[in-house]
Amino acid sequence: MIMSKIQYLSQEGYDKLDQELRDLKTRGRREIAEDIAEARAKGDLSENAEYDAAKEAQGHLETRITQLEDILANARILDAKDLDLTKVRVLTTVTILNIKMKKTMKYTLVSPNEADFSKGKISVDSPIGAALLGKEVGDVVTVQVPAGTLELEIQKIEVE
């Protein structure tokens, strides 16, 4: 069973998930139905690996559709221009200094569904994201990551 949890999304993130849901409900379901019909036409279903694979794919598709419907039903769309920038929040962009490495990094905190590390978008559920949430400029947070312990100083909170 899927646990409903409020997800804070940008309008862009919401629209992307909504488009994926529409695509799965139309094209995805149609393609799976065709695969099942094709496999069924090949005869004995008791030893038909193609049929079993198509039915399994259908199960995965329906699970994803249910997940997306749940996320979208419980989504709250945030407008970055309305955010209070005194603390790190979802959709804020945070400039942090890795104290040990003397390296500055910049991340935008997003919901898990919008995370994309290559674009500098980290999940609020990630170790770094969770540690930064609610903190203010000047705060130093200690974060356990697979590579060890990081000490990060918050230098700037903004909206991009």
Query: Comparing 7-77 with 80-158, is the CATH topology the same?
Result: no
CA angle at 5 for the pair 88 and 80, rounded to the nearest 5°: 35
Distance CA 37, CA 54 (A): 9
For the chain, give me the number of helices (H) and strands (E)?
Answer: 4, 7
Sorted by where each begins, the domain ranges of the chain are 7-77, 80-158
Phi, psi dihedrals of residue 126, rounded to the nearest 5°: -70, 160
Q: What is the CATH number of domain 7-77?
A: 1.10.287.180
DSSP for residue 114: G
Distance CA 8, CA 51 (A): 39
* Tens digits of pLDDT across the chain (160 residues): 445 677 788 888 899 999 999 999 999 999 999 998 988 887 776 777 888 888 999 999 999 999 999 989 988 888 777 777 889 988 899 999 999 999 999 999 998 888 898 999 999 999 999 999 999 999 999 999 888 899 999 999 998 7
CB 121 within 8 A of CB 108: yes
pTM of the predicted structure, to 2 decimals:
0.70
Class of domain 80-158: alpha beta
List the structure tokens of 156: 């700037």
Beta strands 75-77 and 7-9, pairing class: parallel
List the structure tokens of 126: 């990630």
Q: Tokens 């942090």 correspond to what residue? A: 96
Which are the contacts of 25, defined by CB distance < 8 A and separation ≥ 6?
65
